[in-house]
Amino acid sequence: MNRSVALGAPTVGQEELDAVRDVFESGWLSGAGPSCLAFEKEFAAVAGVENVLSTSNCGSALHLGQLVLGVKPGDEVIVGDYTFPATGHSVMWSGAKPVFVDVRPDIWSIDPAQIEAAITPRTAGIIAVDPFGQPADYDEIRAIADRHGLWLIEDAACATGATYKGRKVGEIADVTAYSFHGRKGITSGEGGALASPRADLVAHARKLHTYGIAPAITREGLAELPVPSFDELGYNYRLSDVQAAIMRVQVRRLPELLAARTRVANGYRELLGDLEQITLPVALDDRTHPWQSYVITVDPALDRGSVAMALRARGVGCNFGTYASHVQPLYGEQRELPVSADLFRRHIAIPMHANLAEDDVAYVAEVLRDVVSDSTHRH
Q: What is the CATH number of the domain that holds 159?
A: 3.40.640.10
Q: Report whether 323 contacts 336 (CB < 8 A).
A: no
Q: Which of 200, 229, 251 is the last residue of a domain?
A: 251
Residues 346, 294 within the same domain: yes
pLDDT for the residue 243: 98
Same-domain status, 272 and 130: no
**End of a domain among 229, 251, 273?**
251
**DSSP track, 111-126:** -GGGTGGG--TTEEEE
Considering the domain architecture, whether residues 195 and 70 belong to the same structural domain is answered as: yes
Q: Is residue 153 part of a domain?
A: yes
Q: Considering the domain boundaries, does residue 81 fall inside one?
A: yes
How many domains does the chain divide into? 2
Is residue 5 assigned to a domain?
A: no
| Whether residue 276 is found in the same domain as residue 244 | no
Domain boundary among 216, 251, 286: 251
Q: What is the dihedral of CA 366, 369, 371, 372, to 10 degrees?
A: 170
pLDDT at 354: 98
Per-residue burial over 85-119, b if 16 or more Cβ lie within 10 Å, else e, is bbbbbbbebbebbbbbbbbbeebbbbbbebbeebb
Question: In CATH, what number is assigned to the domain containing residue 305?
Answer: 3.90.1150.10
What pLDDT score was predicted for residue 1? 53
Q: Would residue 72 show up in a list of annotated catalytic residues for this protein?
A: no
Is the same domain home to 50 and 139? yes
Asked, for residue 244, whether it belongs to a domain, the answer is yes
Q: Is residue 284 domain-resident?
A: yes
Q: Are residues 33 and 78 in the same domain?
A: yes
pLDDT of residue 70: 98
Residue 2 domain-assigned (yes or no): no
205 assigned to some structural domain: yes
**Kind and range of the H or E element at 34?**
helix 34-47
Whether residues 236 and 270 fall in one domain: no
Q: Strands 123-129 and 76-80, how do they pair?
A: parallel
Q: Taking the CA atoms of 156, 50, 182 and 94 in sequence, report the sign of the dihedral they define.
A: negative
Residue 316's domain comprises 254-377
319: burial class by Cβ within 10 Å (0-12, 13-18, 19+)?
middle
- Please work out, in degrees rounded to the nearest 5, the angle formed at the alpha carbon of residue 274 by the alpha carbons of 271 and 278: 95
- Specify the pLDDT at position 37: 97
Rounded distance between C-alpha atoms, residue 194 and residue 33, angstroms: 16
**Which residue among 41, 165, 184, 207 is the active-site one?**
184
Residue 146 CA to residue 336 CA, distance in Å, equals 27
Strand partners, 167: 164
**Does 3 map to a domain?**
no
pLDDT by residue, tens only, the chain of 379 residues = 579 999 999 999 999 999 999 999 999 999 999 999 999 999 999 999 999 999 999 999 999 999 999 999 999 999 999 999 999 999 999 999 999 999 999 999 999 999 999 999 999 999 999 999 999 999 999 999 999 999 999 999 999 999 999 999 999 999 999 999 999 999 999 999 999 999 999 999 999 999 999 999 999 888 999 999 999 999 999 999 999 999 999 999 999 999 999 999 999 999 999 999 999 999 999 999 999 999 999 999 999 999 999 999 999 999 999 999 999 999 999 999 999 999 999 999 999 999 999 999 999 999 999 999 998 999 8
216 and 266 fall within a common domain: no
The pTM for the full model equals: 0.97
